[in-house]
A and B are shown apart, each in its own frame.
Chain A
Amino acid sequence: MSEKKKVKKVEIRAFSPGVDLFFSIVVALFAISCIIPFIFVIIISLTSEGSLANNGYSFWPEAWSFEAYRYIFSGQMSQKIIRAFGVTILVTVLGTLLNSTITSLYAYAISRSNFPFRRFFTIFALITMLFVPGMVANYLVMTNLLQLKDTIWALILPLALGPFNILVMRTFFRKNVPDSIIESARIDGASEMKIFIRIVLPLAVPGIATISLFAALGYWNDWFNALLYIQNDNLVPLQYLLMKIQNNLDYLAQNAGMSAQMAGGLAALPNESARMAIVVISTLPIAITYPFFQKYFVGGLTIGGVKE
């Protein structure tokens, strides 16, 4: 019979050191693989075009240059880029406010067990999640029914309410706003609106922060609506501008051999490092806002309002 090992310490909330190390390495590798491409983009945007042409991409280019950023802020496209940046910010701010407002209102209503049409409106939202009408139907509604072609609303409204966010918020209200609180507020004589604003919303801040972030990301990165509905140069958002440049390059590079006269189109497009600089400019702001939402994510979704 072998002797039993003495147990020195029991730690139920931890893996053994070896496993711990293994998982740390896995997560670290994953984190690095996420961040490296973006750092690389920043490096390319700071590389001089000459060394790009000669040596291709490298992590330590032989010649650094701020030319790309100079191009963005004072080059031939600078006005377009700065304008597009403004459009993107406007759309993101307006859209996020609108999205979180409508979503919270809708979700709160269907989260209340004494709301008679609760089931109908839940299913109503769910159906749009399950059956997607397709692009042409959307296009017809936006252009013919609502006449929103070439307006800022064409960028805001399509993303203003999503069933996924509604479901997230509904669950959140269910979990975090017990009926007893609402009951007691009602007994004290508060109206529905007052209950919602004074009692429910403060309890729901983490949830609202979460869906606001989803919405803000969605608006910031959206270019497809712009492709469909925007013709006016003054309403082009930044991501679409970038998309356009990339699409044009791809198309012209593919068809360059078709006709000598097409080659002229390529000359008007920004070069490699300038394109990367636009990527940096369009990604950084949204990446910077992440930490501000961070604190609501960590544990935020599981804290309750009262102990029952």
Chain B
Amino acid sequence: MNKFKKTLLVAGAALALVGLTACGGGDKKADGDKAGDKSGDVTKLLMYQIGDKPENYDTLMDIANKQIKEEINAEIDLQYIGWGDWEKKMSTIIASGENYDIAFTGGTYVTDAQKGAYTDLTEMAPKYAKNAYDQLDEAYITGNLVDGKLYAFPVNGNVYGQQVLTFNKQYLDKYDLKVDDIKSYADAEDVLKKFHEKEPNIAAFAVGQSFIVSGNYDYPLGKNSPFAVKTDGDNNAPKIINQYDDEDFIANLELMHKWYQDGLIPTDAATNTTGFPLDGNTWLMREETQGPMDYGDTILTNAAGQPLVSAAITIPLKTTAQAQMANFAVSNVSKNKEKSVEFLGLLNSNAELLNGLVWGVEGEAWEKVSDNRIKLLDGYKPNTHMAAWNTGNNMILYTQDTLPEEKIKERDESIKTAETSPILGFNFNTSSVKTELTNIANVMNRYQASLNTGTVDPKNTLPKLNDDLKKAGWDKVQEEMQKQLDEFVKTK
């Protein structure tokens, strides 16, 4: 026993020594400061992307890096950070001033840009990424301006968004239900009721805790905050209102409550955080956001692996949220700013490069059938390619041969005709009302889920909510926001 302990101790001491020497030496592979090392004139760019690494990451990157090297003499080290870890990890990287070149910006784009974490691209983007920059819709530039400067290169994708009610087609066919005439929540009641009679155990309207009733509004601080601008109002003098005080919104809340009582909404909606799988059959109707690059229900149906049919309930709208959906920023500490912008330009203008990442390996996952049309092969599997929405310019992506020509025409038409939000590009400076906003967020946390899922009766609850909002300082924030917005409209 004694001998054993002695051995343990010696082993421990030896380990400690090894540990100490290992610290001093440092690992040669540590890439923290290797970003931007010029090894044989090829610039190595370190790039952070959100999400999960594709299974065939090595193959995809090998192919891509060959092309990138040829075009701009650079190589990309693409590092993935998981969805849920993103905010924590990226904020640490930014706060510590660690060296990286390019990063996806997530939802913190405006605050990080104001902190000075990113390089100003206002002049660099048109200069080093001209081709790609010129293809961007005007709304992308306007929507991404922070204090008049552009700090990101947006992915040209769903420039507008519109809320749709999506139906599970298998049930529509089974019970012979029609959804063509649906233009609002109220229109869907009939279908939901009929379905609920037949299938009482399946969620007619699949909503969970994060569900918020939609309407023709745009939200300067996001959907979770009780500040909104009506988009079907006067676009030249937008007014900040509380949507929970707006009759259209209240009507919808009352409808939700009615549905909840009729059993059309699951009883645990206000606490359900797991959601309803798209590919499952546990639901009939859900709310989704669609844009031009979804080609109607094509993308949604692909993701679900079962046919889905949607009906729009809001107008197509170009908003700040859509413009900032997928941004790539160049770090302010990067040693290769020009190269980084050059690379972003290449990624967003070189069809061969981008399609090899988004569709997967050519000849294995897909093959060309014409200039910009492809046929998917058996090798096209989930997790063997990157996502279209947050990789690069959707306009140069090849389309599947199964997609009818008119859908592409429709796409281009719809982008032209989509409305622009009156507050596109407006970033509210919260510094003077931080406390009030925290209080308001706390109030919303108490009421939001139960109201929007119809769990409680809006007739009794809304007065309480609005009372609490007043106490939390809603008026002060509204005043400040309106002031800033009026300034913004003047200078537009």
Contact = CB atoms under 8 A, between A and B. Distances in A.
A97 interface: yes
Interface in B363-422: 382-383, 387-389
Given A247-B85, A253-B275, A264 B387 contact: yes
Interface string A102-118: 10000000000000000
A263 B273 CA distance: 15
Given A148-B27, A150-B29, A265-B52, A98 B19 contact: yes
Contacts of B89: 227-228
A201 B92 CA distance: 41
B96 A139 contact: yes
B83 A136 contact: no
B84 A97 contact: no
A267 B31 CA distance: 31
A263 B19 contact: no
A244 B19 CA distance: 28
B325 interface: yes
A211 to B, nearest CB: 13
A306 B31 CA distance: 55
Contact of B9 (A135, A197, A247): A197
Given A101-B12, A147-B26, A260 B299 contact: yes
Interface stretch (B37-45, B143-151, B284-292, B465-473): B284-292
A227 B16 contact: no
Contacts of A227: 85, 88-89
A82 interface: no
B11 interface: yes
Interface string A259-280: 1111111111000100000000
Contacts, number: 164
Contacts of B158: 259
A251 interface: yes
B294 A260 contact: yes
A139 B12 contact: no
Nearest to B5: A201
B2 interface: yes
Given A136-B96, A228-B89, A253-B275, A153 B208 contact: no
A101 B303 contact: no
B13 interface: yes
Nearest to B95: A136
Interface string B272-286: 011101111010000
A2 interface: no
25 contacts: A94-B15, A97-B11, A98-B12, A101-B12, A136-B92, A136-B96, A139-B95, A143-B96, A147-B30, A148-B30, A149-B31, A150-B29, A151-B22, A153-B23, A231-B79, A248-B82, A260-B294, A260-B299, A261-B387, A263-B278, A265-B52, A266-B277, A266-B278, A267-B277, A267-B382
Interface residues of B, number: 69
Nearest to B207: A257
Interface of B: 2, 5-6, 8-9, 11-13, 15-16, 19, 22-23, 26-27, 29-33, 51-53, 79-86, 88-89, 92, 95-96, 98, 158, 161, 201, 208, 210-211, 268, 273-275, 277-280, 282, 287-291, 293-294, 299-300, 303-304, 325, 382-383, 387-389
B64 to A, nearest CB: 19
A264 B303 contact: yes
A16 interface: no
Closest 5 CB pairs of A and B: A247-B84, A101-B12, A147-B26, A253-B275, A251-B83
The dominant DSSP class at the A interface is helix
Contacts of A100: 12
Contacts of A146: 23, 26
Given A100-B12, A261-B294, A247 B30 contact: no
A162 to B, nearest CB: 15
A247 B5 contact: no
Contacts of B30: 143, 147-151
A54 interface: yes
Of the listed residues A139, A153, A258, the one surrounded by the most CB atoms of chain B closer than 10 A to its CB is: A258
Contacts of B293: 261
B51 A260 contact: no
A21 interface: no
Contacts of A160: 19
Given A150-B29, A227-B88, A54 B275 contact: no
A148 B30 CA distance: 7
Contact of A250 (B51, B273, B277): B273
A157 interface: yes
A39 interface: no
A283 interface: no
Contacts of B279: 267
Of the listed residues B85, B88, B201, B300, the one surrounded by the most CB atoms of chain A closer than 10 A to its CB is: B85
B92 A139 contact: yes
Given A100-B12, A248-B83, A265-B51, 17 more contacts: A136-B95, A140-B96, A148-B30, A149-B32, A150-B29, A151-B30, A249-B274, A251-B84, A254-B210, A256-B210, A257-B211, A258-B289, A259-B389, A263-B278, A263-B304, A265-B83, A268-B52
Contacts of B33: 144
Nearest to B326: A259
Contact of A253 (B11, B208, B294, B388): B208
A252 interface: yes
A101 B83 contact: no
A148 B31 CA distance: 10
